[in-house]
Amino acid sequence: MPLSAADKVLVYTRNFTKDGKGFVHDNIAACTKTLKELGADNGFVTEVSDDPAVFTAASLKPYKALVFANSNNEAFANDDQRAAFKAYIQAGGGFVGIHSSCGSERDWPYFQHVQGGKFLVHAPLQKFTIKVLDAVHPATVHLGKTWVWSDECYFFTNLNPDLKVLLALDPSTPLDKFPLSQPNLGQHNGQFPLAWCHEADGARAFYTSLGHKIEYYSDPTFKQHLLGGIQWVLHTEKHP
């Protein structure tokens, strides 16, 4: 379903640590380019920023969704910006997280609640099999029962119990140099989740852990996965 031309999305990419040593993905330019293209092709306006000063009530008001695109570590510079983010979510503004966004705001439980979880650890980049747990959600409807994909397989802590898991690791897939038997790997109802959606404090939220390499943002299957998540957050689909 095409989106309305009135829909406006903020793509936010801040990566910040006080010591300057936080990991910054080299995929950010490719990710933002793809998101702009998806917007142009599907009727929504995409604006990109890494400036936390955008987080005020007035600045956020035009946006129907915030996309934290490979952001990491400190997303905000002060508590007033965190308060603006919280008020935006509580007013029904949408949230999308991509890949390393689960490493943003690691010390703020509210952000983790909205996103659905916090980064714990990942296996080395390799091919693995993904179970598709929802065959009709717009982020997964184009997939079969399984999806073989090469990426960093993420594991989480502080998982929100209200998540609807869309994609999960097939645990029968052996992960090289990473035993699934190790303790404290976050699970949700017995699954190792990789992508999910939920209602978060008045807003729709979608997160996918996939998307580490630059070339993934040119992959049609992955691009449709991202687009479907954005469309769901923008209320253009009735399910779920």
Instruction: Evaluate if residue 228 carries a pLDDT over 90.
Output: yes
**Given this model, what pLDDT does residue 213 score?**
97
Instruction: Give the integer Cα–Cα distance in Å for 133 and 144.
Output: 10
The torsion angles phi and psi of 239, rounded to 5 degrees, stand at -105, 145
Mean pLDDT computed over 18-32: 89
What is the structure's pLDDT at 237? 62
Do you know the residue count of the chain? Answer: 240
In this structure, which topology does domain 8-233 adopt according to CATH? Answer: Rossmann fold (3.40.50)
pLDDT in tens, 106-133: 999 999 999 999 999 999 999 999 999 9
Dist. CA 213–CA 127, nearest whole Å: 13
* H-run or E-run covering 16: strand 15-16
Phi, psi at residue 129, to the nearest 5°? Answer: -100, 135
Return mean pLDDT, the chain.
Answer: 94
Q: Where are the domains of the chain?
A: 8-233
Please write the tens of the pLDDT for every residue from 51-94: 999 999 999 999 999 999 999 999 999 999 999 999 999 999 99
Report pLDDT for 178: 96
Higher pLDDT pick, 167 / 43 = 167
Residues 233/206, Cβ–Cβ less than 8 Å = yes
% of the chain at pLDDT higher than 70: 96
| 2: pLDDT strictly greater than 80 | no
User: Which amino acid is residue 195, in one-letter code?
Assistant: A
Residue 239 above 60 pLDDT?
no
